[in-house]
Structure 1
Amino acid sequence: MNIQLKAEYEQFIQNRIATGRYENAEDVIIKALTLLEEWEKGYQEWEEETQQKLAAGLASIEHGDMLDSQVVMARLEEKLSLKM
């Protein structure tokens, strides 16, 4: 596979090789792709957890399990005053 990179990316790769941590451009790119894969997996897990939390919250609202905004604000103010 041949890839055209912008000059700044080529320089970045060369700088990484110059540190001695990587032997060649392929090593740098493999590391970058591995990190991207890990990040995307983490993002996907976060997204799934967030969707589950939203679904649970919406279900609670539908069942009437919610607090009045004044109660929420009073509890927040109480917590903040205890920390000061």
Structure 2
Amino acid sequence: MDIILKPEQEQFIQEKLKSGKYKSIDEVIIEAFRLLEEQDKHYEQWVEETRQKVTVGLEQLDRGEGNEVEVVINLLKDKIRGMREA
């Protein structure tokens, strides 16, 4: 497989090599793929956790355990105010 890099990508790789952290272009690329794989795993985990939370929330709503819209909006406003004050 041949890969054509943009000049800024080549420069990035050269800077990584100059830093001394990596000894070869292969090491830089292997690390990039490792990080991409890690990011993908975290994203998939987040998606699954979000799906589970949505399922729980929908089940709660079906049981009548939901909050009124105004209550939720006020809770969010309070949370935002707290974040700004921190």
TM-score computed with the length of structure 1 as normaliser:
0.80
Separation in 2 of the partners of 1:74 and 1:5?
50
Instruction: Pick the structure with greater CA Rg.
Output: 1
In 2, Cα distance between equivalents of 1:14 and 1:78 = 48
- CA-based RMSD: 2.4
Mapped partners of 2:50, 2:67: distance in 1: 21
**Residue 82 of structure 2 aligns with which residue?**
none
Alignment of 1:1-84 (within 5 A): 1-72=1-72
Q: Distance in 1 between matches of 2:77 and 2:9?
A: 50
Give the unaligned 5+ runs of structure 2.
80-84
Using the TM superposition, give the Cα deviation of residue 63 of structure 1 relative to its aligned residue in structure 2, in angstroms: 1.3
Q: State the shift of 1:74 in Å.
A: 6.4
Alpha-carbon shift at residue 2 of structure 1 (Å): 2.0
Q: Aligned partners of 2:77 and 2:31: how far apart in 1?
A: 47
| % same residue | 44
* Count of residues in correspondence between the two structures: 81
Return the TM-score normalized by structure 2.
Answer: 0.79
Structure 1 runs (4+) deviating above 6 angstroms are: 74-79
Greater displacement, 61-70 / 38-47:
61-70
What runs of 5+ residues in structure 1 fail to find an aligned partner? none
Deviation at 1:71, TM superposition (A): 4.4
